[in-house]
Amino acid sequence: MSTQQTLGQVLPAREAAKMEAAMAVGAFAIGTGEFAIMGLMPDIASNLHLSEPQVGHAISAYALGVMVGAPLLAILGAKLLRKHMLMLLMVLYALGNLATAFTPSANALLVFRFISGLPHGAYFGIAAVVASSMVPAAHRASAVARVMIGLTSAMLLGNPIATFLGQWFGWRSAFALVGAIALLTIVLVWQYVPDRRDEPRSDPRKELRAFTKPQVWMALAIGAVGFSGMFCVFSYLAPTMLDVTHVTAQWIPFGLAAFGVGGIIGNIAGGKLFDRLQFRAVGVVLVWAIAVLLFFPFAAGSLWGVLLGIGLIGTMVALAAPLQIRLMDIAHEAPSLAAASNHAAFNLANALGPWFGGMAITAGLGWTSTGYIGAVTALAGLGVFFLARRMRGGD
């Protein structure tokens, strides 16, 4: 049974666009909240008397929250209307980020970032199910990509704005902004996401049974391993620009914006690639990822080089929509849990990337070593992709 059959008939294009835009605002809030800490890493480290790699632990705490919250909240909310679940998840996201804005200590920062991460995966998972079920079947990946444009727009606009605010008004103001956007999302979802009382509720037991399929775990492994290279580089972009490119902190928002431009291009390309190539699109993106990650260390020495390099790394976001639809197709009896687990896998990548990069930096290999480490992880993800293709049902 397809997700389209699960939720009901296709919406008129104009209503579908409003619905996708409402959910995209939530994606914008999540994207800004997730990545703002990376642009403000030096400011947070100075304020809380930490090193940059120690602030990286807060990134990992957020990612751990996503990994825990994605499957747990998807299962707990299986009996709720998806519209209501989206609203509840945004309430939790608003609270977590507003609490972060008032963090009194380094330990509290870890706790509040963990709480903020809990609704992340479930929100994207449910939004993907809703979006893909209300458009023609041939355009499902593109519909998911349009919701995800909120995430990539956060990379282009939200994160640079949050970084600018944090530099001028204190890093806490950035997370207060995220909380406010999350509250706005609640209103928009209430108004524009259809309230379909007749939608069938998910069965948690069926959702869990779908995870006995090896191909589900293969797809999750590709996201967790293959995507970590992007986070390995991006997490340490701010100190790299300060210590390798030798620019002032005022240039960091431009680096984040360049990453966002790449993310928007990659997001659109990823949806179109999957609509055309299906699962093969994942392999194409991973080959591209290896190339751009290897390019970054050579580009980081100059301003225009680092902007180009981080922009190209941003295009790795193209992996998101293809893996999202792939999982929903394989685990068709568990669309919400599968889609949410995809973001759990991406945030395992968000935990692994800073960890791998931090170990390399601490070992004295330098800030640009993150590009080489990231290329190795993308290569490993490509290996999992080929293994999945060789197994039955790989296409």
Rounded CA gap, 76 and 154, in Å?
A: 28
Could you tell me the pTM of the whole model? 0.73
**What confidence category does residue 99 fall into, taking pLDDT thresholds of 50, 70 and 90?**
very high
**Considering the domain boundaries, does residue 282 fall inside one?**
yes
**Considering the domain boundaries, does residue 171 fall inside one?**
yes
* Residue tagged 């998972």 (tokens): 125
**Considering the domain boundaries, does residue 303 fall inside one?**
yes
Range of the domain at 133: 3-390
**Considering the domain boundaries, does residue 395 fall inside one?**
no
Count of domains in the chain? 1
What are 179-238's pLDDT values in tens digits?
A: 999 999 999 999 888 876 665 556 666 666 666 778 888 888 888 888 888 888 888 888
The whole-number pLDDT of residue 234 equals 84
Here the CATH number for the domain that contains residue 151 is 1.20.1250.20
The whole-number pLDDT of residue 204 equals 64
Q: What is the DSSP letter of 202?
A: P
CA distance from start to end of the chain: 18
**Considering the domain boundaries, does residue 268 fall inside one?**
yes
CA 256 to chain centre: 15
Mean pLDDT, residues 159-177: 85
Rounded CA gap, 81 and 6, in Å?
A: 12
Nearest to 367 by CA among 319, 315, 310, 317: 310
**Considering the domain boundaries, does residue 382 fall inside one?**
yes
Residue 105 DSSP SS3: coil
pLDDT of 343 higher than 80: no
Mean pLDDT, residues 267-291: 84
Give the residue with greater pLDDT, 157 vs 392.
157
The answer to whether residues 327 and 141 touch, using CB atoms and an 8 Å cutoff, is no
pLDDT of 393 higher than 60: no
pLDDT of 93 higher than 90: yes
Q: What phi and psi, each to the nearest 5 degrees, are found at residue 316?
A: -65, -15
